[in-house]
Structures are given as structure tokens and as C-alpha cells.
Amino acid sequence: MIDTKDYLVAPGHCVRLHDIATKDNGGLTKKEGMQAIRSLSKRLFELQDLLYAQRAKSLLIVFQAMDAGGKDSTTRRVFTSVNPSMLMVRSFKKPNTEELSHDFLWRVHQHTPPKGVIGVFNRSHYEDIVTVGVNQLQPSKLWQSRFEHINSFEKMLVGEGTMVLKFYLHISKNYQKERLQRRLDRADKHWKFEFADVDAREHWDEYLALYSEAIERCSTATSPWYVVPSERRWYRDLVVLQSIVNTLDALQMDYPEPEFDPNSVKIP
Amino acid sequence: MIDTKDYLVAPGHCVRLHDIATKDNGGLTKKEGMQAIRSLSKRLFELQDLLYAQRAKSLLIVFQAMDAGGKDSTTRRVFTSVNPSMLMVRSFKKPNTEELSHDFLWRVHQHTPPKGVIGVFNRSHYEDIVTVGVNQLQPSKLWQSRFEHINSFEKMLVGEGTMVLKFYLHISKNYQKERLQRRLDRADKHWKFEFADVDAREHWDEYLALYSEAIERCSTATSPWYVVPSERRWYRDLVVLQSIVNTLDALQMDYPEPEFDPNSVKIP
């Protein structure tokens, strides 16, 4: 078992993504890692059933990353084995006119998971700091005040029963180049290629600085950020899976006792 | 390969669920069936990626069944291998006050899948005929007019790019008893047990008659109903999977051609 605490950002701890490794293996071979992933996937399936049976808590998972950082493939690989009926995945694209006419938490709040359900945000309200900040889409005073709003919002979610786990999938600028090149090289990936992703590379350092600040200021004891080295995909999946399983295991859930005596029921 | 046409309800064809088998194997052993399921699952994964890459069509899948008929487990088993980011599963429970204050299609319409996405309805607008009819929750003139409304609604969906496939998971009253008893016998299933499911058994024949009528009147060439023998779960999954794969295969999708020359792009 790997120690996910290595990737957890302790509250109040300084974060400089520039200095954090984007590749790791936790001392495991790929074969050992894949084996761990299989057994964690099975455990996640059981835990998800318990979460749903109890309907006392829900779990919100946030993925943020640079373009081609692996938000889609992590979602697919971590959650393919779970029950899709109790899973809600939401991708947040560029906000539309209606969304922009509301506060920045309005559109995400509508998609937080109800009790019993695991919700996944592919991008999230953190875009409204990072992307907005880098591209100066709003006055800086406005987006800077959002760190506090996010902390209050996530505190409310946790207080009301929605656990929150946030993962920054960390890759290097060179690795991103490889992944974008792959979209050019493979006919079945052309549709994923966007010139905007290439243009954004110009602002790489600014993005990284703002992500560093957001992660530093918004990693709390109850709503933590993990910085996941993501250039080995199996290891990335393993860190995410292990963190989720640890969080759900800590609830020590059992199937609820029925409010009737099952032996007394006769089905006609 | 099994012939799913055996389970397709031809438009205008008379349907009497009382006379339709609830158990079948299509001449296959379980081993052969499971092998077919594995290869169809892989194909569904590829087809889903193409559907999303093209974003020209979407697919809505409707599951209806008697209680304990297997809507949840079919959803889980047929869709676990697909990409959860491009899948939307929606369970419709008893309508709430706001939903009841709208027309019966209002709440389902909000959850039809956007282009590129596969949507699954676990129960649907058909409850507003069958359950409403059996329990006389609305005047009969009202719910009887809904056959026509449903046909118009689904015709609109198909015309606008959302393909519709509907599956009735067919079980016998005895088999239902076995499945409900299982929920009483197993501690990890107690939470699924509901007395209302037992009470509904009194109206078994009425439910079956109304389902027969709904399926007969609402199976159209473009929005067909399948009656799936569901007491062998692997065979049920196979029929559903094969029907979905056939429908998507018929689109003869390719990855879209890029609107630029991939060889001309240099990533800095």
C-alpha cells in the first residue's frame, strides 16, 4: 500500500508546483501497481454500495490539471468498475451566457452529488480562479476574493455531509507536448486537438503559479488537495484510487439495520 | 451472435406479456454468452468513443420492469465498461410536488442525453401510464391520452438526433418472489427491501396488461421496444448489449476528419 499522505497538501503548507515531481512510482513496479489497482477497484465498488445503502454522506471528487493532464482518462480508469447508477460525472466547459450571469459557484452547486452518490467534477470552480486569473477575464480583485468564497462553500458542503477530495494531476510542459503531439499523430485522436491548448502553453508558468496559490490557500483538513505525479498513468490512478478508498474506509460503514424483522415477512 | 429481432416488438404487432417467455438462452451456453458479452462490451466502448467524437447523435436507453426485475443490475453490468464521462444514468422515483405540477414529460425531458452522450433512464415516462393507470392516480382519460403524447415526444427526439431504445426486462411473478426473498435473506440487501414492492404483487396482472398495452402502442420503427427474457441474467445482458451495439454499428461512424492539417502543426 502506498502512502497517499506524500501527495496530500497539508493546510497552511507552502506549495510550489514548479518544484514538485511529475513522475513517481512509489517504489512499485507497474505489475505491482496494477495488482493494487485491481484490488482497490473491487474495494471501491463495495464501499460505493455501502455509501448508497446508508445514504448519510456523499463524496465529491474534483480533478484539475493542465490540458492533456489526464482528467478524462483518470475519470475513466478510476471509475469504470463502479456502479454507474450511483456515480455522477460532470465536465465543466467554458461557461455560457446564463452561467456567466450568475455567481461562479451557481453552476457547480447544481451538480454536487446527493447523499449516497459519488460526484466527479472534470474541471470545477477552480477554473474561475486559475483560467480567469491567467487570462484576466475578470478584475483581479474579484477573482482573488474567490479563494475565501471557495473555502466557505466547501466547508458548507462538508458540514452538510458531502466529503470533498481534490486532485491536481501534475505533468511537466514537455510531457504535455508529447500528449498533444499524440493527438496530431493518431487519426482517432484528431478530434481532441484544440489550438487553444497549444496557445495556453505560452502561459504555462502563470498557470502553474496560480494553481500553486489556489492549492495552497484551499487545501484544508476537511477538503484537501492532492498533487498527483501524473506522468505514469498507472501510478496516477493508484494514488487517486487509494486516496478515495482511504476516505471511504475511514467512515467504517456497515449496511443499515432494517426497521423490521426480515424473518417475519411472508411474500405472497 | 444472437438475433435480437426475436425480442423486438414489431410496430402494430399485438403484445401479450402473459404469453411471452421470461427465460431463454438463445441456444448458447453461459460460457459462450459471457464470451460474447466481453467482446460486445469492448465494441460498445469503441462505439461510445466514436459517438462522442462525432457529436452528431445521442442515444437514450429506457429500462422498465416489475420491481426486482433487474433494471439496476442490467445498468451496472451493461455499462460498467464504458466511459462514465459520456454516460448519464437517471433513476426516476415517485415524482415530487414540483414535478407533479408540470406535465409528465417535463422531468424526463430535462435528462435526455446531449449529442455524443448515452443516456440511461431507470424507469421513465412509461411509469406515468403504467403505475398511474394501475393505481388510478389520475383520471383514466388523462393517462390514456399519454400513449399519443409519448409517441410524439419520442418521434421529436429521434428526429432531432436522439436515438431511442426501450427494454422491458421480463420476469415471472414466481421469479420476483425469489428475488424479493433474497433481499430478506441477505443482510447486505435488507436496505433494498420495500413493503410497497410486496403490496404491488396484488396488482401483477393489471401491471402486465398495462405494460402490454404500452409496449404495443409505443413500439415504433424508430423508437422500438424490446421484451427481454430476464430470468437468466447473463442472457438478459447479452440481448441488451447486442441491441445497443447493433444500433450504434448501423450508424457506420468514423472519427471526424480534422479541419486542419495535423502535419502542419508545430507545438512550441
What is the span of the domain harbouring residue B118?
4-254
Beta strands across the sheet bearing A162-170:
A87-91, A118-122, A58-65, A162-170, A225-229
Does B259 reside within a domain?
A: no
B188 belongs to a structural domain: yes
Residue A238 within any structural domain of the chain = yes
C-beta atoms of A198 and B267 within 8 A: yes
- Please state, in angstroms and rounded to a whole number, the distance separating the CA atoms of residues B156 and B105: 13
Number of domains in chain A: 1
Chain A residues with beta carbon closer than 8 angstroms to that of B180: 267
The phi and psi torsions of A246 (rounded to 5 degrees) equal: -60, -45
A247 domain residue, yes or no: yes
Other C-beta atoms closer than 10 Å to the C-beta of B54 total 16
B34 — pLDDT class (breaks 50, 70, 90) = very high
| ipTM higher than threshold 0.90 | no
Helix (H) or strand (E) holding A142: helix A140-144
Nearest CA in chain B to A197: B267
pLDDT band at A80 (very low <50, low <70, confident <90, very high): confident
- pLDDT greater than 90 at residue A81: no
CA distance A100 to chain B (A): 21
User: What does the pLDDT read at residue A1?
Assistant: 82
- HEC secondary structure over chain B: CCCHHHHECCCCCCCCHHHCCCCCCCCCCHHHHHHHHHHHHHHHHHHHHHHHHHCCCEEEEEEEECCCCCHHHHHHHHHCCCCHHHEEEEECCCCCHHHHCCCCCHHHHCCCCCCCCEEEEECCCCHHHHHHHHCCCCCHHHHHCHHHHHHHHHHHHHHCCEEEEEEEEECCHHHHHHHHHHHHHCCCCHHHCCHHHHHHHHHHHHHHHHHHHHHHHHCCCCCCEEEEECCCHHHHHHHHHHHHHHHHHCCCCCCCCCCCCHHHCCCC
State the best of B85, B192, B201, B259 to mutate against chain A, taking most chain A CBs within 10 Å: B85
Q: Do the domain assignments include residue A207?
A: yes
User: How many angstroms away from the CA of A88 is the closest CA of chain B?
Assistant: 7
Per-position DSSP letters for A168-205, written without gaps between them = EEE--HHHHHHHHHHHHH-TTTGGG--HHHHHHGGGHH
A261 lies in some domain: no
* CATH number, residue A154: 3.40.50.300
Q: Compute the mean pLDDT over every residue in chain B, rounded to the nearest whole number.
A: 96
Which candidate, A115, A97, A216, A131, places its Cα nearest to that of A166? A216
Whether the per-residue pLDDT at B31 is higher than 90: the answer is yes
Q: Does any domain span residue A173?
A: yes
Dump pLDDT digits (tens) for A191-208: 999 999 999 999 999 999
Residue matched to cell numbers 508529447: A178
Q: Quick check: is A87 in a domain?
A: yes
* Whole-number CA gyration radius for chain B: 20
pLDDT tens readout for residues B184-233: 999 999 999 999 999 999 999 999 999 999 999 999 999 999 999 999 99
Residues A111-120 have a mean pLDDT of 97
Q: pLDDT tens, A63-72?
A: 999 999 999 9
